[in-house]
Amino acid sequence: MPDGALPVLDVQNLKTVFQTRSGEVHAVNDVSFSLRPGELLGVVGESGSGKSVTMMSLLGLLPTPPADVRGGTVMFDDKDLLNVNAKTLRDVRGGKIGFVFQDPMTSLNPVYNVGMQIMEPLRKHMGMNKKQAAARAQELLELVGIPDAKRRLADYPHQFSGGMRQRVMIAIALACDPQVLIADEPTTALDVTIQAQILELMKDLRAKLGMAVIWITHDLGVIAGIADRVMVMYGGQVVEHAPVDVLFSDPQHPYTRALLKTIPTITGERAARLTVIEGQPPIMKDAPASCAFRDRCDVAFNRCAVENPPRYDLGAGHDAACFYDARTGEPRDA
């Protein structure tokens, strides 16, 4: 990245393939991005677009086989996370990189009280003794806004509501003062009023702690309110990447444009009819040799069928992987 400080996390050309009974599925194809200190990078895409698999790959969280991380580099803390031993990776995970998953019920252990679950990374990664860890756990619960924190440490996950459980997950992820927090659809399972609470909490925490965040979601509304930069994924590739206000005001990839048109809003003009993106998202059986979106694209032309578009730099931190230049209405140079 040209502007700003050195990235805390730099991913280049990441490739992940799944071996399935009906052949290979190329879930992540040549994904590159970087994360600057303190920023929030939003990752948007539909199911199967590769957004979660990308994040799981870079932390070595996928079972191999069937997954196979075929290439790329993930630079964090002067180390390539794809080329370090298991112990180093374990130290990074839950330590300097925290993770929040979508469903707080399945990612918390039902047979341990939440106190023990928050204390586990503190004792493993920070070498705290029981007393220090307990004090820090209480602090963390207070930080994420759980009332009566000291007593709640002894409670089990089922005694918390969905929103409160997600707060516990965030507390665990924040336990070791991470430099990077990866949040995978953290509010998708929650109701809108509870989602609003978690989004507010996230804003507070970023202001207080200053960590960099990767926020994965399919909800463009959530992204608009919280992200600094946004990366749009489709078919396991980054199709567009821009600062958040640019992405919404001047989207350049046909998929982003269609996506923004297809979602109804509660303010704004009410369309008599919703704009439809015809067809289905692709299942990538092979490494892409053509544009993955061309079957559903309204500006596709013959080049799109024979060549996979690279990410064209459009200036000001904006790039889009499309042969068609929406600004001029002409194909880009060959």
**Given the rule CB under 8 A, which residues bind another protein?**
46-47, 161, 163-164, 191-197, 199-200, 218-226, 244-245, 248, 258-260, 262-268, 270-271, 273-278, 280-281
Minimal distance in Å, beta carbon 163 to another protein? 6
Two tokens, residue 316: 């000001």
Residue closer to another protein, measured from CB, 24 or 46: 46
20 DSSP β-pair partners: 23
Q: Are 285 and 292 in contact (CB under 8 A)?
A: no
Minimal distance in Å, beta carbon 149 to another protein? 16
Minimal distance in Å, beta carbon 96 to another protein? 29
Minimal distance in Å, beta carbon 74 to another protein? 28
Residue closer to another protein, measured from CB, 47 or 85: 47
Minimal distance in Å, beta carbon 270 to another protein? 6
Could you tell me the CA-to-CA distances from 299 to 22, 208, 302, 310 in Å, in that order?
32, 45, 10, 17
Residue closer to another protein, measured from CB, 26 or 167: 167
For 88, phi then psi, to 5°, come to -60, -45
Residue pointed to by tokens 């994040």: 55
Residue closer to another protein, measured from CB, 80 or 245: 245
Residue closer to another protein, measured from CB, 72 or 104: 104
3-state DSSP: the chain helix, strand, coil percent, rounded to 5?
35, 25, 40
Strands 229-234 and 97-100, sheet pairing:
unpaired
For 239, phi then psi, to 5°, come to -95, -25
User: What is the 8-class DSSP label of residue 93?
Assistant: B
Q: Are 306 and 314 in contact (CB under 8 A)?
A: no
Minimal distance in Å, beta carbon 261 to another protein? 9
Residue closer to another protein, measured from CB, 175 or 213: 213
Residue closer to another protein, measured from CB, 97 or 202: 202
State the sign of the Cα–Cα–Cα–Cα dihedral 132, 134, 138, 141.
positive
Q: Are 37 and 243 in contact (CB under 8 A)?
A: no
Residue closer to another protein, measured from CB, 95 or 317: 317
Minimal distance in Å, beta carbon 6 to another protein? 26
- Which residues, including other chains, have CB under 8 Å from residue 157's CB and lie 6 or more apart? 104, 105, 108, 109, 110, 114, 165, 168
Two tokens, residue 233: 């994924």
Minimal distance in Å, beta carbon 246 to another protein? 9
Q: Are 122 and 130 in contact (CB under 8 A)?
A: no
117: number of Cβ within 10 Å: 21
